[in-house]
A and B are shown apart, each in its own frame.
Chain A
Amino acid sequence: MKIPYYVILPSYFAYALGFIFGHLRDFVSFFRNHVDKPPKGYAPLCRDFEDFYTRRMYRRIQDCFNRPIASAPNTWIDVIERVSHDNVTLVRTKNTRRCINLGSYNYLGFAAQDEYCTPRVIECLEKFGASACASRVECGTSILHEELERVIAKFVGKPAAMVYGMGYATNSTTLPALIGKGGLIISDMLNHSSIVAGARSSGAKVAVFQHNSPSHLEQVLRKSIAEGQPRTHRPWKKIVVVVEGIYSMEGEICRLREIVALTKRYKAYLYLDEAHSIGVIGKTGRGLCELQGIDTEDVSVMMGTFTKSFGSCGGYIAGSEDLVKYLRYVSPGHLYATAMSPPAVQQVLSALKVLMGEDGTDRGMKKLAAVRENSNFFREELQKMGCEVLGDEDSPIMPIMLYIPATIPAFSRECLARNVAVVSVGFPATPVFLGRARICISAAHTREDLNQALKVIGEVCDICQLKYYPPPQLSWKEKARLKEKEKNL
């Protein structure tokens, strides 16, 4: 995206100023001995430059992050107010503020109490306890875990699946099990931190292709296969291409059809992370393959999490039966980590039943339609207002571009003052000059909620001057003509 000059020059200036002031403060505090020195002979626990960003830039706007809530992460939340007495730490107060929640991942509205899921979860807690305190190969496997693995495999469209207790651990323990030294992982530039951690833990070489660009992926594939391993030029043992279904900071949907064509042609394996897209896109919520009409056979490994659409925790890996057997034998997340908590498993099972309509109602279909309608409505309205909004159609994630660093805290604080809770992110979660406010829409948001949120965002965008594409100004003749038309209607 081309950022206009009147936006990027102030951003450079702002960061430079923050940098200079930060160093000035460091100098003064060193002078006045406010720095906490480590004991004699020890190196400081955090190196100066590692800590600089935290101390001098992040701490200025730390009230915009880690906001605690005192209620379920539903569409309306009670944000706990915090105060700072020393400009360094924030302390909880007893006051809360009821806000519209545009920040939590609650796409299908399963976040809080649900009439079908919650009674079954409580029953399961009674029967199985909160945790098995053992790994899946010891005594952590229960009939619920096996049922969930069967159901999720069928839902996603693969022969078999396995379930982990944490989404992050799913990626970071499966990638090392699939590929090792002598292999190549080609991952999208904007992949999630868990994929990066898993790729690095595996010991394989990692190459990166430009975000969502099948043409660049083809270039990287051809170059890698032709040149082979670095220095020795031996052929690669295997190549795994890792992409995500919906990218969490962009809201874009992956161009899977073209990428599948490439992986088939160049004999690479495809690993699809559907953390944000399972249960949300596709006619029945089965994810990206259903949306784009792709045969699930063409994707070697399908991964997803239960945190976003199903209101639970954990992740799954779906693939062929042999692949899942092998992963059960090798993956440390399965052999060593605590098994997924049984009530969380029951929550996913119940949510899947609702989504598939097996609870006897059509709530599932209604939820899917609602999240789509709400997302499209909200995005259209934001674009009409003149904000720069990213994300594809039907995607429930819509980042509003902020660019100028000062607007990151300003947007967040002004919205909170008007009882709308939004998430604004800057460096390092996004590239330096591409700060944004990320909105996550839920199926449980009503039209009134959304309209109220839009009104507030409109006001705040005016204050922060974020309407980069204002609607075209009509001349007085055209305005008069419109008025005539309205009168006649």
Chain B
Amino acid sequence: MSIIRMNQMLVKRTMSLWFDTLVSLLDAPLADAVIFGVHIDGHLFLETLLVVVIAFLLLQKSYQPEKRPLTEQEIDQLCDEWTPEPLHPPITKEMELSPPVLESAAGPHTVVNGKDVINLSSANYLGLIGHPKIKEACNAALEKYGVGACGPRGFYGTIDVHMDLEAKIAQFMGTPDSILYSYGLATVSSVIPAFCKRGDLILADEGVNWGIQNGLFLSRSTVRYFKHNDMASLEALLEDVRQEDRRKKKVLNRRFIVVEAIYQNSGEMVPLDTVVRLKEKYLFRVLVDESNSIGVLGKTGRGLSEHFNIPVEKIDIITSAMGHSLASVGGFCTGSAKVVDHQRLSGAGYCFSAALPPFLASASITALELLEDNPVLLTRLRRNISFFRSKLATIPGVVVGGHALSPLIFLHLQRSGSFAEDSVILQQIVDKMLEEGVLLSASKRSLLDKCKLGAGIRIMVTASHTEAELLSVSSSLGNVIQSVVAAQS
């Protein structure tokens, strides 16, 4: 046999000898042990040892790098490196707004730059600015109460004229009670969050004004928009909601449809009868912002519900600003007693803001009384609106927007581009019209506004304008628009 083979055999023999010794060593102490009928021997001992080792390894935590919080020097360095944006972006030419500065009251005629001009940019629909009765009431209030209310409504800011005005509004609108806010913009922004919280559903028109958009955002509820003044789109959305309800068993939440009576951004009127029919079919509540329709629509000026002959109880919440036909400042909200009562503690603009100055409340009371005693104001306003619209329709190059009964008339360019481009052209028209002796205003939109409706010239017709004035305005408009549009093309 070769030496290699002899070596192999030697190794094998040594290995088996060692192994046998090991096994016999392990076997020896437990050689005759029997526990629970299981013969204990070396194999069992080795297997147990293996199981213990595997268990120990599994229970070890996996390697993780040490968590080291930032040191003070590192935070200092990050703070030094950080450069913030400037507080506001650089001012461009289009940001330099220079509105007309009035030197007299904003009535149907006003004085700008020493010149008397016809004023069509004030929402003074009934022509009550400067009315002697309102001046008398305001004078009396100023003599008695001073100017400010010097406190919020909860802390001695409630003056008897506020309570009188709330009672008067409730009596005028035919509702049990109403609540007064000291600013039109803050009214609807406070009402919506008071009734809608996270988890509630609101369907709003996509053309609603910024106050409503702000209220919708602050309420944290789910908001879905339907196409501007499109009832088919609203119905489709309502059907969608119903389908979703059937699929998922949801908790019953508060649901609102939010519309404006006459839209601030387009002058369109919402078909309230359709909205009420839909709300009753799909079990929603409705909130209507009647800023531009109180004192305008309806036989006695009670707004959209009177115009459509719908009992006012069917509309859950009505809000309105008083800075339009009522020739004052502020806003109100009316509805059932529960609606009004709830806002006295949860309306943010009511609880945490100073009360309306008493003389403005007196002005509103007098305006409402004048409206009740002189329905001829409404007929005059309606006549002026229809006359002016018919004259404006004859001007080429522009499209007359807004409902036939709306005192807020929009003039959109026929060849319209983006909002910014249109605004430039419209501003040129407005500036030229001011030189001709007519005060108009083009629509301005904030960067924070989500509304996507087109730009236009906003013309606000009042009951105090005469037909002769409106005729002269429409002919000047025709000339100016022709010249500006011709210059563009």
Give chain A's interface residues, CB within 8 Å of chain B: 36, 41-43, 45-47, 50-51, 54, 58, 65-74, 77, 79-80, 92, 101, 103-106, 110-114, 117-118, 121-122, 125-134, 136-143, 146, 165-169, 172-173, 176-178, 192-194, 197, 200-201, 221-223, 225-226, 235-239, 266-269, 300-301, 305-308, 310-313, 322-323, 325-333, 335-338, 340-341, 343-344, 347, 421, 423
- The answer to whether A73 and B189 touch across the interface, beta carbons within 8 angstroms, is no
- The answer to whether A131 and B363 touch across the interface, beta carbons within 8 angstroms, is yes
Query: How far, in whole Å, are A221 and B78 apart by their CA atoms in the complex?
Result: 11
Q: Which of B232-287 contact A (CB under 8 A)?
A: 252-255, 264, 283, 285
Q: How many cross-chain pairs have Cβ atoms below 8 Å apart between A and B?
A: 347
- The answer to whether B446 and A335 touch across the interface, beta carbons within 8 angstroms, is yes
- The answer to whether B327 and A130 touch across the interface, beta carbons within 8 angstroms, is yes
Contacts of A341 in B (CB 8 A): 329, 357, 360
Contacts of B156 in A (CB 8 A): 67, 69, 73, 77, 79, 101, 103-104, 421, 423
Is B157 part of the binding interface, using a Cβ–Cβ cutoff of 8 Å? Answer: yes
Is B22 part of the binding interface, using a Cβ–Cβ cutoff of 8 Å? Answer: no
- The answer to whether A332 and B91 touch across the interface, beta carbons within 8 angstroms, is no
Is B32 part of the binding interface, using a Cβ–Cβ cutoff of 8 Å? Answer: no
Query: How far, in whole Å, are A77 and B70 apart by their CA atoms in the complex?
Result: 60
- Which 3 A/B pairs are nearest by Cβ-Cβ distance? A338-B323, A129-B105, A166-B183
Please name 25 pairs of A and B residues whose Cβ atoms are closer than 8 Å in the assembled complex, sorted by A.
A42-B252, A43-B255, A46-B195, A122-B142, A126-B135, A130-B129, A131-B323, A132-B129, A133-B129, A137-B97, A138-B121, A139-B100, A139-B121, A141-B100, A142-B106, A167-B353, A201-B214, A226-B74, A239-B84, A311-B146, A325-B91, A326-B95, A330-B447, A333-B185, A338-B329
Query: How far, in whole Å, are A178 and B85 apart by their CA atoms in the complex?
Result: 11
Query: How far, in whole Å, are A114 and B150 apart by their CA atoms in the complex?
Result: 14
Contacts of A106 in B (CB 8 A): 150
Is B231 part of the binding interface, using a Cβ–Cβ cutoff of 8 Å? Answer: no
Contacts A130-B360, A312-B147 given; indicate if A268 touches B157 (C-beta within 8 A): no
Contacts A72-B146, A137-B441 given; indicate if A80 touches B101 (C-beta within 8 A): no
Query: How far, in whole Å, are A405 and B151 apart by their CA atoms in the complex?
Result: 24
Interface centre among A45, A117, A118, A141, by most B CB within 10 Å? Answer: A45
Partner of B79 from the list A54, A266, A327, A421 (CB cut-off 8 Å) is A266
Contacts of B356 in A (CB 8 A): 313
Is B143 part of the binding interface, using a Cβ–Cβ cutoff of 8 Å? Answer: yes
- The answer to whether A329 and B104 touch across the interface, beta carbons within 8 angstroms, is no
Is B184 part of the binding interface, using a Cβ–Cβ cutoff of 8 Å? Answer: yes
- The answer to whether A45 and B102 touch across the interface, beta carbons within 8 angstroms, is no
Report B138 CB to chain A, min CB distance, Å. 5
- The answer to whether B446 and A336 touch across the interface, beta carbons within 8 angstroms, is yes
Which of B339-347, B369-377, B390-398 forms contacts with chain A? B339-347
Q: Interface code B85-124, partner A: CB below 8 Å = 1, 0 otherwise? A: 1111111000111011111111100100000000101111
Report A241 CB to chain B, min CB distance, Å. 12
Contacts of B148 in A (CB 8 A): 73, 110-111, 306-307, 310-313, 344, 347
Contacts of A221 in B (CB 8 A): 79
Query: How far, in whole Å, are A326 and B354 apart by their CA atoms in the complex?
Result: 27
Contacts of A166 in B (CB 8 A): 182-183, 185-186, 353-354
- The answer to whether A344 and B147 touch across the interface, beta carbons within 8 angstroms, is yes
Partner of B253 from the list A43, A104, A178, A236 (CB cut-off 8 Å) is A43
Query: How far, in whole Å, are A300 and B332 apart by their CA atoms in the complex?
Result: 35
Contacts of A268 in B (CB 8 A): 84
Contacts A104-B157, A222-B75, A269-B87 given; indicate if A330 touches B102 (C-beta within 8 A): no
Report B318 CB to chain A, min CB distance, Å. 15
Query: How far, in whole Å, are A332 and B316 apart by their CA atoms in the complex?
Result: 27
Interface centre among B159, B185, B210, by most A CB within 10 Å? Answer: B185
Contacts A141-B101, A326-B89 given; indicate if A72 touches B346 (C-beta within 8 A): no
Contacts of B107 in A (CB 8 A): 129
Q: Interface code B38-57, partner A: CB below 8 Å = 1, 0 otherwise? A: 00000000000000000000
Q: Which of B145-161 contact A (CB under 8 A)?
A: 145-151, 153-160
New contact pairs (9) apart from A45-B195, A73-B159, A134-B121, CB-CB < 8 Å: A45-B338, A139-B102, A165-B329, A223-B75, A269-B87, A306-B148, A313-B182, A326-B89, A332-B211
Contacts A69-B156, A137-B99, A166-B182 given; indicate if A197 touches B357 (C-beta within 8 A): no
Partner of A130 from the list B352, B354, B359, B446 (CB cut-off 8 Å) is B359
- The answer to whether B97 and A143 touch across the interface, beta carbons within 8 angstroms, is no
Contacts of A423 in B (CB 8 A): 155-156
Contacts of B103 in A (CB 8 A): 142-143
Query: How far, in whole Å, are A143 and B324 apart by their CA atoms in the complex?
Result: 22
- The answer to whether A127 and B105 touch across the interface, beta carbons within 8 angstroms, is yes
Report A459 CB to chain B, min CB distance, Å. 21
Is B471 part of the binding interface, using a Cβ–Cβ cutoff of 8 Å? Answer: no
